[in-house]
Chains A and B, each alone.
Chain A
Amino acid sequence: MSNTASLSKKASPFQVAVFLVPLLFALVLIYFGVTEYVVGRADSGSFWLTLGMVTLVFSVYWIYQTRKRILKLMSVEMQPLSTTLQCRKCGLKNVREFQRGDFVFKQTDQACPKDNEKMMISAIYREVKEKEKGREEANP
Chain B
Amino acid sequence: MLTLPTLPITAQGIFPTGDNVLGWVFQIIFLGIFVVFMFYGQRIQMMIMVREVEGSLYKLKFMRDEARKTAINNIKELGKLEGDPTAQIDRFLEYFAISPVELDPSGVIWRLEHLLDVRDVRFKDDVKLMAPKADETQINNLENMLEAALALNIIYKVIRHYYLLGKKTLSLYIIMQLQMILPLIMREAEAYASAQKAFTLGQPIGDGAGALVAAKLMQNHEKTKVEKDVVVAQVPIEGRTAYVLKAEGPGGNVGKPGEAIKQIIEQNEGRVSLAIVIDAGLKLEGERTGEVAEGIGVAIGGPEVEKYKVEEAALKHKVPVNAIIIKEDVGDAVSPMRKEIVDAIDNVIDRVKRIILERTKAGDSVIIAGIGNTIGIGQ
Tell me the A residues contacting B by CB distance below 8 Å: 5, 7, 28, 31-32, 35-36, 41, 43-44, 47-48, 69, 73-74, 76, 78-79, 81, 98, 100-106, 123-128, 136-137, 139
Question: Using Cβ atoms and an 8 Å threshold, which residues of chain A touch B289?
Answer: 128, 136
Mark out the residues of chain B between 339 and 371 whose CB falls within 8 Å of any chain A CB in the assembled complex: 339-342
B89 close to A (CB within 8 Å)? no
Chain A contacts for B194, CB-based, 8 A = 76, 78
Query: Does B133 have its Cβ within 8 Å of any Cβ on chain A?
Result: no
Are A124 and B215 interface neighbours, CB within 8 A? no
**Top 4 A-B pairs, shortest CB-CB distance:** A103-B250, A105-B378, A125-B339, A73-B59
State the Cβ distance, B191 to closest chain A Cβ, in Å: 10
Flag if A104 contacts B377 (CB, 8 Å). Answer: yes
| Contact across chains for B250 and A106 when beta carbons are under 8 A apart | yes
Q: Are A44 and B9 in contact (CB under 8 A)?
A: yes
Identity of the chain A residue whose Cβ is nearest the Cβ of B336 in the assembled complex: A126
Residues of A within 8 A of B63 (CB): 76
Query: Complex: how many Å from CA A7 to CA B204?
Result: 27
Contact B202 A41 (CB under 8 A): no
Q: Is the CB of B9 within 8 A of A104?
A: no
**A121 CB to closest chain B CB, in angstroms?**
8
Which B residues are in CB contact (< 8 Å) with A126? 335-339
Contacts of B336 in A (CB 8 A): 79, 81, 124-126
Chain B residues within 8 Å of chain A by Cβ, number: 43
A35 touches B203 (CB 8 A): no
Tell whether A124 pairs with B7 under 8 Å between CB atoms, given A31-B2, A76-B63.
no
Cα(A78)–Cα(B66), bound, Å: 13
Expressed in whole angstroms, the Cα–Cα distance for A35 and B62 within the complex equals: 49
Q: Does B110 contact A (CB under 8 A)?
A: no
Who on chain B is nearest to A124 by CB?
B204
B335 contact set on A, CB distance < 8 A: 126
Given A43-B9, A44-B9, A47-B9, A106-B378 contact (CB < 8 Å): yes
Question: Is the pair B339, A124 in contact by a Cβ cutoff of 8 Å?
Answer: no
B43 in the interface (beta carbon within 8 A) = no
Query: What are 28 A-to-B residue pairs whose CB atoms are below 8 Å?
Result: A5-B66, A7-B62, A31-B2, A35-B2, A35-B3, A41-B6, A44-B4, A73-B56, A74-B62, A76-B63, A76-B190, A76-B193, A76-B194, A98-B203, A102-B203, A103-B202, A103-B376, A104-B376, A104-B377, A105-B377, A105-B379, A106-B378, A124-B342, A125-B204, A126-B336, A126-B338, A126-B339, A128-B338
Are B288 and A137 touching (Cβ within 8 A)? yes
Minimal beta-carbon separation of A41 from chain B (angstroms): 6
CB neighbours of A102 from chain B (8 A): 202-203, 376
A103 and B377 form a contact (CB under 8 A): yes
Which residues of the partner chain B approach A69 to less than 8 Å between Cβ atoms? Answer: 55
Nearest chain A CB to B196's CB is how many angstroms away?
A: 10
State the CA gap A104–B204 with chains docked (Å).
8
Q: By the criterion CB–CB under 8 Å, are B62 and A100 in contact? A: no
| A28 neighbours in B (Cβ, 8 Å) | 2
The answer to whether A48 touches B286 (Cβ under 8 A) is no
In the complex, chain B residues whose CB is within 8 Å of the CB of A100: 201-202
- Once bound together, how far apart are the Cα atoms of A76 and B197, in whole Å? 11
> Least Cβ distance of A17 to chain B in Å?
18
Confirm or deny: B210 has a beta carbon within 8 angstroms of a beta carbon on chain A. Answer: no
**Identity of the chain B residue whose Cβ is nearest the Cβ of A43 in the assembled complex:** B9
Q: What separation, in Å, do the CA atoms of A98 and B376 have in the docked complex?
A: 11
- Is B224 in contact with chain A by the CB < 8 A criterion? no
CA of A92 to CA of B378, assembled, Å: 20
Q: Choose one: B6, B7, B215; the contact of A105 (CB below 8 Å).
A: B215
Contact for A74 among B3, B7, B59, B378, CB less than 8 A: B59
Q: Which residues of B contact A41 (CB under 8 A)?
A: 6
CA distance A119 to B289 in the complex (A): 29
A47 to B4 alpha-carbon distance, docked (Å): 12
Least Cβ distance of B225 to chain A in Å?
Answer: 17
Q: Complex Cα distance A41/B9, Å?
A: 12
Q: Is B281 positioned at the interface, with any CB of A under 8 Å from its CB?
A: no
Expressed in whole angstroms, the minimum distance between the Cβ of A65 and any Cβ of chain B is: 12
Nearest CB on A from B233, distance (A): 12
Nearest Cβ on chain A to B70's Cβ, whole angstroms: 9
Distance A113 CA – B219 CA, assembled complex (angstroms): 23
Cα separation A7 to B202 with both chains bound (whole Å): 25
Q: A103 to B337, alpha carbons, bound, how many Å? A: 12
Question: Are A136 and B376 neighbours in the complex by a CB distance under 8 Å?
Answer: no
